Structure 1
Amino acid sequence: MKDTSHKRHIAKAVTWRLVGTLDTILLSWIISGNPLTGLKIGFAEITTKMFLYYLHERVWYKVDMEESNKRHLFKTITWRIVGTIDTMTLAWLISGDPMVGLKVGFSEVLTKMVLYYLHEKAWYKINFGLDNRKMKNK
């Protein structure tokens, strides 16, 4: 059977990055007080986060864990750890201020976890990129 999950993971990476970038731009702008800094941080993340998200999806595709809210929660937590480290690093480098990096990174923890969880729940209902899904817990 052909593995079509790559298409799915790419589509998920793109849709999540759109949501995540808008959140990062807004939070970075508010915290730094500079809309240009917010845009720079948000757009710098596009490349790093899409790559990291794709890798995260590939790892979780291989994890043998029952499809459930528990799985979505664990994926949310592991992704948020990776994403927060990336955001803090980029915000620090772009703003030149480590406190901006820390503030942006930590403020995103809550907003991104909620947004990511909702994104995962929405994608769970979509069969795009799956040849045949085992629908255990709908």
Structure 2
Amino acid sequence: MGKISHKRHIAKTVTWRLVGTLDTILLSWLITGNPFTGLKIGLSEVLTKMVLYYLHERAWLKMNIDDSKKRHLIKTITWRIIGTLDTILLSWFITGSPTTGLKIGGVEVVTKMILYYVHERAWYKINFGLDNRHKKKKWKKI
């Protein structure tokens, strides 16, 4: 595999965080009934999730699993475990309720896995941050 630049992982981190934050804000608002609580939870995750996501991307770069739908599915599951634990803990801390943290985390497991898988597949088709050797590699049709 060719070299994958840090700028690619940073771009993926930023685009995923935008999608993920909007989802968290909406879910937190719907579950708590308070738009400000939704904003507090969603915005508090921005830094923690960006750092965790970037580290997850770098760790997956070292994994020796062929680029395929299987890789993206496994990557989706591992990220969701990390992301959900972060959301549960932050929601619990902000609301003071472990039950609310578990509700928000439980619902977002479904929404975030779907959104993350779509995000991963979209980035699979984008050559941004890939060197020429990587771009010229023939990929299986996705």
TM-score normalised by L of structure 2 = 0.93
Q: Which residue of 1 aligns with 2:40?
A: 40
Supply the distance in 2 between the matched residues of 1:105 and 1:66 (Cα, whole angstroms): 30
Could you tell me which residue of structure 1 aligns to residue 125 of structure 2? 125
CA distance in structure 2 between the aligned counterparts of 1:46 and 1:136, rounded to whole angstroms = 33
Distance 2:138 2:24 in 1: 34
Aligned length: 137
Q: Which consecutive residues of structure 2, in runs of 5 or more, have no partner in the other structure?
A: none
Distance, in Å, in 2 between the alignment partners of 1:43 and 1:135 is 39
> 1:78 & 1:5 partners in 2: Cα distance?
22
Q: Which runs of 5+ in 1 are unaligned?
A: none
- Deviation per CA, 1:43-67: give whole Å up to 9, x if none: 0000000000000000001111111
Q: Distance in 1 between matches of 2:3 and 2:124?
A: 17
4+ long deviations beyond 2 Å: none
1:107 aligns with 2:141: no
Report the secondary structure of 2:129's partner residue: coil
Distance 1:85 1:27 in 2: 16
Deviation of 1:135 after TM superposition, in Å, equals 3.3
Q: Distance in 2 between matches of 1:124 and 1:33?
A: 37
Cα drift, residue 5 of structure 1? 1.6
